[in-house]
C-alpha cells in the first residue's frame, strides 16, 4: 500500500509534454539535426524511448529459451565459453600458450592446424590438453577432414570418449572465397567437402560443429552492423540450401553451423545485433520445417573487432575490447574471443592473452554477467535497436535473395560493392574526424613512438584486388591504418617538423584553437610548440623564428585575426614552410589568403588529406 501511495505522487508524463520541454530547450534549433542520430546502418535513432515504443514488438511476448530466441537460449543462466584463439610460430609454442590459457580460466581454445600434417604433430599441439574438459576449435587448416581424423586418433589414443568432446571447425566456404577470391576446390567441390565433414563428425565426433559462417570478415572490411548481419544470414541460408541439395538434412546442417561475428565499439548496437541474429535465424529456419526446435537456435561466437584497433596509444584497445566483450556477454553470445589488445602490431604473447582472458573472467566472476538471463531485456532503447537492425538486415537479406543467393551475389560483386560503399563512408568520417579513433586521429600522445615496437605487418593480410581471381576479395583492413601510415612515416623519416602556435587575444578562443591545432598536427607526429599568448603579432613572429619553426599556426578569435594576420604574414612569409590559421572566418578567407595564409584548419577539414599535403611539403614519404 505504501508503494502505491508513493507512485501516486508521481503521475505519468505523456510524450507530448516531454516533447514540449525539449523543443523549448532547443530554442528553435532543428530537432532532427540536433537530437536524432542517423546511423550508418540506414535508420534513425530517437533521443529517447518510452514504454509505448515497445507495443508493436511481437517477440517480447516470448521468454528466454523460446522461439524466436531473441532473449537467448538459456532459461536459467547466461553462461558462455571463454575462448582463446592461439597463434604461434611453432606447435610447441602454441601448446604452451594453450595450456596457460586453460590453467588460467579459459575453457575453449581456438587452434591453428595449418602445420599439423601427421598424428605426431597433432600430439604435439594437444600435449597435456584434456579434450573432454575444454572445447577444441580448429580455426584454420589445409584440409579440415584430415585434421579431424588426426584429432580423433589422438582423442582415442588418450582413452577419451569422442561423444564427450566438443568443439568446431572453421570451415567457411564463402568466407574463404571472399578473402582469397576463389573457392578451395571449386564451389561444388567445397560443398562436397562440407558434406563429408558433416558425415564424419556425425559418426565420430557428434558434438563437433564443422561448418562456419564468418560475419567478422565482412565487419573487418568496414561494413555496417546491418550489412554484417544481413550478409551473414544470407550466407548461412545459402549454405543450408546447397548442402540439403547435396543430400544432407536441414537438421544436419543447422546443428553444425557456427556464426562468427565481430563485435565493435558501438556498444548498444552490438548487443542488439546478436539478439537480432538469433531472432532472424529462427525465422529463416522455420521455413525449412525442421524436425526439432534445436535447429532454430544458432551458435554464436563473438570475436572482438580488428577494424577499430590501433597501433598508437595501444592501451586504449583494452577499453575497446572491454566494451566489445560486455556487448557480447549481455547479448548472450555462446562463446566469446577477446583478442589481445596489441594484436594490430605484434605477435601475441602471454601478457596480451592474459588481459583478454581476464576481461571475460572479470565479467563473470565479479560482475556476474553469466548469472543473469537476458540482461538487456526490457530496455526501451536496446529493444528498439534490436527491432530496427532486424528489419534492415532482413531487407538486405531479401536483396541478396533477389540476386539468386549469397554465392551468386559474391560472384557478381554485389556484396563487395555494398560493403565498399560503407567502408568508404567510414573512412571519410575518420579522415574528417567525425569518427574519433582515440590516440590516432584525435588526442594523440605527442611523445609516443611505436615504430620500433612493431614486429609484424600492421595491415590486415587479405588485400587482393580481385583482378586475377574469379571472385573479388573483400579487403580486410583497420580504420586507423591511413593515419598510422602518416605518423610512422614521420617517425621513420627522421624529419620532425616544428609547429609553432602563435596564440593571441581572447584566452578561451586561443586556448581552444591551440588545442585543436595541437591535435591536428600531433596525429602526424609533428613537434608542437605551444605558447601562453603574445601581446603583439611581431612578438609572436620573433618567437617563432627564434624557435626555427617550420609551420606557424595563428590561434585567436575570428575578430582578433583582423588585428594580427597581415602583420604575422609579413614577418613570416618566406621564412617558414607554411602559415596556417586555425578556424575559418568565411568573410575574410580570401583576404587572409592574400596576406599569405596557406591553409585554414577547422572542424570540417579533411585532416588526412591536409596532413598528406604537409608530408609532401617536407618530403616525408609514406610506406
pLDDT surpassing 80 at residue 622:
no
Instruction: Please provide the average confidence, as pLDDT, over all residues in the chain.
Output: 95
Does the pLDDT at position 305 exceed 80? yes
Pairing of strands 498-503, 527-529: parallel
More confidently predicted of 621 and 618: 618
Q: Which of 41-45, 91-95, 461-465, 493-497 has the lowest mean pLDDT?
A: 461-465
Question: Taking the model in full, what pTM does it have?
Answer: 0.94
Which residues share a beta bridge with 259? 213, 300
Round to whole Å and give the CA distance between 151 and 136: 10
Domains defined along the chain, listed by start: 2-53 (no CATH), 76-408 (3.20.20.240), 494-617 (3.40.50.280)
pLDDT of residue 459: 57
543 has a pLDDT exceeding 90: yes
Low-confidence winner among 117-126, 315-324, 457-466 (lowest mean pLDDT): 457-466
Q: How many CB atoms neighbour CB 519 within 10 A?
A: 17
pLDDT tens digits, residue range 343-390? 999 998 999 999 999 999 999 999 999 999 999 998 999 999 999 999
pLDDT at 4: 64
HSE, CB side, 13 Å, CA atoms: give it for residue 3.
0
Query: How many Å apart are CA 286 and CA 129, to the nearest integer?
Result: 39
Task: HSE, CB side, 13 Å, CA atoms: give it for residue 617.
Answer: 16
| Phi and psi, residue 554, nearest 5° | -80, 130
Dist. CA 69–CA 290, nearest whole Å? 16
Give me the pLDDT at residue 2, please: 56
- 433 dihedral zone (left: phi>0; alpha: psi -120 to 50; beta): left
Cis? peptide before 68, omega within 30° of 0: yes
The arithmetic mean of pLDDT across residues 296-321, rounded, is: 97
Q: What is the pLDDT of residues 462-488, one digit of tens each?
A: 444 446 899 999 999 999 999 999 999
Integer distance in angstroms from the first to the last C-alpha of the chain?
72
Amino acid at each position: 500500500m505504501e508503494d502505491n501511495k508513493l507512485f501516486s505522487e508521481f503521475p505519468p508524463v505523456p510524450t507530448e509534454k516531454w516533447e514540449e520541454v525539449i523543443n523549448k530547450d532547443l530554442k528553435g534549433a532543428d530537432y532532427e539535426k540536433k537530437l536524432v542520430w542517423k546511423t550508418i546502418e540506414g535508420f534513425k535513432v530517437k533521443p529517447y524511448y518510452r514504454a509505448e515504443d515497445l507495443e508493436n514488438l511481437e517477440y517480447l511476448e516470448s521468454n528466454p529459451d523460446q522461439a524466436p530466441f531473441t532473449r537467448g537460449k538459456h532459461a536459467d543462466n547466461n553462461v558462455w565459453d571463454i575462448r582463446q584463439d592461439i597463434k604461434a610460430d611453432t606447435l610447441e609454442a602454441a601448446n604452451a600458450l594453450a595450456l596457460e590459457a586453460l590453467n588460467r580460466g579459459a575453457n575453449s581454445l581456438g587452434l591453428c592446424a595449418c602445420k599439423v600434417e601427421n598424428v605426431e604433430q597433432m600430439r604435439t599441439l594437444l600435449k597435456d590438453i584434456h579434450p573432454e574438459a575444454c572445447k577444441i576449435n580448429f580455426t584454420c587448416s589445409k584440409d579440415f577432414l584430415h585434421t579431424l581424423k588426426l584429432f580423433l586418433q589422438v582423442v582415442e589414443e588418450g582413452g577419451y570418449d569422442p561423444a564427450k568432446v566438443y568443439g568446431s571447425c572453421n570451415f567457411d566456404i564463402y568466407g574463404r572465397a571472399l578473402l582469397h577470391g576463389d573457392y578451395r576446390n571449386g564451389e561444388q567441390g567445397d560443398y562436397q567437402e562440407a558434406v563429408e565433414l558433416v558425415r564424419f563428425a556425425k559418426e565420430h565426433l557428434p558434438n563437433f560443429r564443422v561448418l562456419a559462417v564468418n560475419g567478422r570478415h565482412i565487419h573487418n572490411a568496414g561494413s555496417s552492423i546491418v550489412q554484417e548481419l544481413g550478409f551473414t544470414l544470407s550466407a548461412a541460408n545459402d549454405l543450408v540450401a546447397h548442402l540439403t541439395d547435396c543430400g544432407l538434412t536441414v537438421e544436419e546442417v543447422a546443428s553444425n553451423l557456427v556464426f562468427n561475428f565481430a563485435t565493435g565499439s558501438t556498444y548498444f548496437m552490438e548487443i542488439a545485433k546478436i539478439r537480432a541474429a538469433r531472432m532472424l535465424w529462427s525465422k529463416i529456419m522455420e521455413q525449412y520445417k525442421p524436425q526439432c526446435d534445436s535447429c532454430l537456435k544458432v551458435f554464436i561466437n563473438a570475436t572482438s573487432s580488428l577494424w577499430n584497433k590501433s597501433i598508437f596509444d595501444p592501451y586504449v584497445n583494452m577499453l575497446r575490447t572491454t566494451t566489445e566483450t560486455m556487448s557480447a556477454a549481455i547479448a548472450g553470445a555462446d562463446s566469446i574471443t577477446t583478442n589481445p589488445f596489441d594484436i594490430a602490431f605484434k605477435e601475441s604473447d602471454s601478457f596480451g592473452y592474459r588481459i583478454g582472458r581476464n576481461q571475460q573472467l572479470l565479467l563473470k566472476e565479479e560482475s556476474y554477467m553469466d548469472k543473469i538471463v537476458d540482461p538487456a531485456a526490457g530496455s526501451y532503447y536496446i529493444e528498439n535497436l534490436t527491432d530496427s537492425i532486424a528489419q534492415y538486415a532482413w531487407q538486405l537479406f531479401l536483396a541478396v535473395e533477389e540476386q539468386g543467393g549469397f554465392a551468386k551475389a559474391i560472384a557478381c560483386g554485389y556484396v563487395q560493392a555494398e560493403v565498399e560503399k560503407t567502408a568508404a563512408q567510414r573512412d571519410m568520417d575518420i579522415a574528417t574526424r567525425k569518427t574519433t579513433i582515440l590516440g590516432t586521429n584525435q588526442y594523440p600522445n605527442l611523445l609516443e613512438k611505436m615504430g620500433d615496437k612493431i614486429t609484424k605487418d600492421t595491415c590486415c593480410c587479405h588485400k587482393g584486388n580481385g583482378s586475377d581471381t574469379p571472385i573479388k576479395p573483400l579487403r580486410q583492413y583497420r580504420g586507423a591504418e591511413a593515419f598510422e601510415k602518416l605518423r610512422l612515416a614521420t617517425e621513420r623519416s627522421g624529419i620532425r617538423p616544428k609547429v609553432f602556435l602563435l596564440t593571441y587575444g581572447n584566452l578561451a578562443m586561443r586556448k581552444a584553437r591551440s588545442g585543436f591545432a595541437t591535435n591536428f598536427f600531433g596525429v602526424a607526429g609533428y613537434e608542437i610548440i605551444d605558447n601562453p599568448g603574445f601581446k603583439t603579432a611581431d612578438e609572436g613572429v620573433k618567437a617563432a623564428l627564434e624557435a626555427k619553426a617550420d609551420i606557424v599556426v595563428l590561434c585567436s578569435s575570428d575578430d582578433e585575426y583582423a588585428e594580427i594576420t597581415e602583420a604575422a604574414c609579413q614577418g613570416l612569409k618566406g621564412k617558414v614552410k607554411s602559415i596556417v590559421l586555425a578556424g575559418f572566418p568565411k568573410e575574410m578567407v580570401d583576404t587572409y589568403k592574400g596576406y599569405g595564409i596557406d591553409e585554414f584548419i577547422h572542424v570540417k577539414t579533411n585532416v588526412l588529406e591536409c596532413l598528406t599535403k604537409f608530408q609532401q611539403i617536407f618530403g616525408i614519404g609514406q610506406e
